[in-house]
Copies of this chain bind each other. A is one copy, B any other.
């Protein structure tokens, strides 16, 4: 069984040994009660999932959490969204479910799922890049998802050479220009007209709104710059775009792939595609972590 802990929803699932989906369900994440209440809610949901008939034969449990996750020690170290600090989530979940639990990071779990079951299937080197409020990345290198002590993959904070301040305290970060929230904020600021998210900016760009076209264009350029850097360092064969912004589809993928190709010289040229698992990626990835727990060769596990 698996649970993807998000700031908006808790997405749970039960899977067969072959990976087949036996049951899924989502719950609202109530954050009003503060960090501790979210922990209690997560444990209650795990309990509910454990009691479901489909989970009767469950042998292990995977959990995906946001923020900074120490997968080795099993701690959710830090989450801005949930207010978590040093939550021993693996131990708590093991006590509540009576199952061995694997704790992973939501973006890296999603990347694992896209690599094993989704858009990056069959390649050893890939990037999974969810673009929403922020921009993250799961780095798949030589067939493994890079953990980096829980801190790898901060693509959103690659300096793409602009002067706008980022929430992280730095300047030039990709995220300030090209995240869904960055796009909406910059459009509102420049046009003087508030919008309901980046999807609305995309729609306006399609219907010829000059400011929307400009803001979208700058976002695509910034993404191309940051991904060029990632290509130099990691040589991905596929770049999988996920998160809300990826729903723009070709409006994002086509110009991004074109500008990326224009920038690359000696590099390996990756395909740019959209994710195929959508918001199931995190939970599916957590289920893969759960399954890895049951493998015999613990030593080879990453």
A residues in contact (CB < 8 Å) with B? 124-125, 137, 139, 141-142, 144, 146-149, 151-155, 157-159, 161, 168-170, 225, 228-230, 232-237, 263, 265-268, 297, 299-300, 302
CB distance from A226 to the nearest CB of B (A): 8
Given contacts A158-B229, A225-B159, A297-B300, contact A235 B265 (CB under 8 A): no
Contact between chains at A158 and B265 (CB < 8 Å): no
User: Which residues of chain B have C-beta atoms less than 8 A from A144's C-beta?
Assistant: 142, 144
Q: How far is the CA of A68 from the CA of B147 in the complex (A)?
A: 26
Residue in B148, B233, B263, B297 whose CB lies within 8 Å of A125: B148
CB neighbours (8 Å) of A266 from chain B are 154, 157, 168-169
By a CB distance below 8 angstroms, the chain B residues around A155 are 232-233
* Chain B residues closer than 8 Å to A299, beta-carbon distance: 297, 300
**Top 8 nearest A-B pairs by Cβ distance?**
A151-B235, A148-B235, A300-B300, A154-B232, A169-B265, A168-B265, A157-B232, A141-B146
Contacts A233-B153, A233-B154; A148 near B137 (Cβ below 8 A): no
**A-B residue pairs in contact (CB < 8 Å), sample of 19:** A124-B149, A125-B152, A142-B146, A148-B235, A148-B236, A149-B237, A151-B268, A152-B233, A154-B266, A155-B232, A155-B233, A157-B232, A159-B161, A161-B161, A230-B233, A233-B233, A297-B299, A297-B300, A300-B300
Task: Identify which of A155, A232, A297 gathers the most chain B CB atoms within 10 Å of its CB.
Answer: A232
Determine the residue in chain B with the shortest Cβ distance to A172. Answer: B161
Q: How far is the CA of A237 from the CA of B237 in the complex (A)?
A: 27
Q: Is chain A's binding surface mostly helix, strand, loop or mixed? A: loop
- Chain B hits for A124, CB < 8 A: 149
CA distance A268 to B13 in the complex (A): 34
Closest-CB distance, A298 to chain B (whole angstroms):
11
A85 to chain B, nearest CB (A): 14
Q: Looking at the complex, which one of B142, B151, B170 makes contact with A265 (CB distance below 8 Å)? A: B170
Give the complex CA separation of A152 and B149 in angstroms.
20
CA distance A153 to B302 in the complex (A): 21
Q: How far is the CA of A297 from the CA of B153 in the complex (A)?
A: 29
Known: A146-B141, A170-B265, A266-B168. A152 touches B234 (CB 8 A): yes
Check A149 against B169 for contact (C-beta < 8 Å).
no
> Which residue in B137, B154, B225, B265 is a CB contact (below 8 Å) of A267?
B154
Looking at the assembled complex, report how far the CB atom of A252 sits from the nearest CB atom of chain B, in whole angstroms. Answer: 21
Q: Which residue of A125, A137, A146 has the most chain B CB atoms within 10 A of its CB atom?
A: A146
Quick check: A149 and B170 within 8 Å, CB to CB? Answer: no
CA distance A158 to B125 in the complex (A): 19
User: How distant is A120 from chain B, measured CB to nearest CB, in Å?
Assistant: 14
Shortest beta-carbon distance from A140 to chain B in Å:
10
- Separation in Å of the A270 CB from the closest CB of chain B? 11
Give min CB distance, A62 to chain B, whole Å: 19
A152 to B127 Cα, complex, angstroms: 13
